[in-house]
Amino acid sequence: MKKDYRSKPVKKIVVIGESNAFGMCACDPRNEWVQTVANLIRDFQDEPLTVLNNAVPANVISQNSPGYATLPEHGKPSALDRYYRDLIAYKPDLAIIAYGLNDSRCGYPAEDFLGDLEYIVADVTNRTKALVVLTSPYWNTQYDEMLWNNLETKPEWATGDYSTFAVTGRNLVFSYVTGIQKIAEKYGCLFVDLFAPTEGCLWLLHDDQCHYSDVGHRVLGQLVFNTIACNCSWIGQKSRRIAREGDYDTSNTGGTNGMNRMIRGWLGR
């Protein structure tokens, strides 16, 4: 039988991450991917749910990340400097940690990034009883030629022509993805790969080629929710109860907009 990561409903979600987790470029706040996750959970549990979205645009994992020195003040402090205050201190039932885009963008070596992330995950799992969800970086659009030509501060490995840059960058991001998955497995967390399903899907992006549009945010949120729902039994309890209480079964469900002859035949009419 599959492992059940959580059997009790969640009352508080706390998120730390970067600008996409913050919800940038979602025109309707309901479509921000964090809010998408929260609203889907609300649909399938009776208990109220509080969401604390403590993602910070432009944030990076630590002060050692090459991008940290150029961050505006509103992008600081780093995740390592703030995770206790902005995550652990709130005692979440569900903690989502969403990093990797900005750090890969500035060329932070995978080994260093993953070491910093593991430090945070180890402490969060040790100090809280939260279900921890780790998301991978998304499809990193900085490797698009438009951004290649307009980057104000390029990572040290941004040398040669665009094709070389793109391959090197993709390999770095992929190293992040596989490394985050291993950390999740080591500490009993859920891992959500947001890289593979969205790689190359330019139609999910805002015109800035970095953040996601409303439909892109919805896709990311649905992917996170799907992972939670497929690994946590609590999310199925309300639906099963409603079906039992209403005597819903194969005889009285389905067929919306179906052919009349099929509906009549199935119901024996």
Rounded mean pLDDT of the chain? 89
Mean pLDDT is lowest, of 67-71, 128-132, 164-168, 248-252, for 164-168
pLDDT (0 to 100) of residue 199: 85
The tokens describing 157, both together, are: 């490995």
**pLDDT (mean) for 61-77:** 91
CA pair distance 242, 232, nearest whole angstrom: 18
pLDDT (0 to 100) of residue 1: 80
Q: Is the pLDDT of residue 158 over 60?
A: no
Q: 134 forms bridges with which residues in the sheet?
A: 97, 191
For residue 119, the SS3 value is: helix
Tell the residue number behind the tokens 């985050």, with chain if given. Answer: 180
Indicate the pLDDT class of residue 200, thresholds 50, 70 and 90: confident
Per-residue b or e along 30-56, where b marks 16 or more CB atoms closer than 10 Å to that residue's CB? ebbbbbbbbbbbeebbeeebebebbbb
Higher pLDDT, 88 or 70: 88
For residue 132, the SS3 value is: strand
**Domains of the chain and any CATH numbers:** 12-231 (3.40.50.1110)
**pLDDT (mean) for 52-56:** 97
Q: Is the pLDDT of residue 153 over 80?
A: no
CA pair distance 189, 24, nearest whole angstrom: 26
Mean pLDDT is lowest, of 111-120, 121-130, 146-155, 169-178, for 146-155
pLDDT (0 to 100) of residue 214: 97
User: What's the pTM value of the predicted model, to 2 decimals?
Assistant: 0.91
pLDDT tens digits for 184-199? Answer: 999 999 999 999 999 8
Q: Which helix (H) or strand (E) covers residue 116, if one does?
A: helix 110-127
Integer angstrom CA distances of residue 158 from 86, 139, 145, 225, 258: 33, 18, 12, 35, 56
Integer angstrom CA distances of residue 99 from 185, 193, 231: 17, 12, 22
Radius of gyration of the chain (CA): 21
pLDDT above 90: percentage of residues in the chain: 68
For residue 190, the SS3 value is: strand
pLDDT (0 to 100) of residue 253: 82
CA pair distance 209, 196, nearest whole angstrom: 17
**Do β-strands 94-98 and 12-17 pair in parallel, antiparallel, or remain unpaired?**
parallel
Q: Is the pLDDT of residue 53 over 60?
A: yes
pLDDT (0 to 100) of residue 265: 67
Top mean-pLDDT range of 67-76, 92-101, 134-143: 92-101
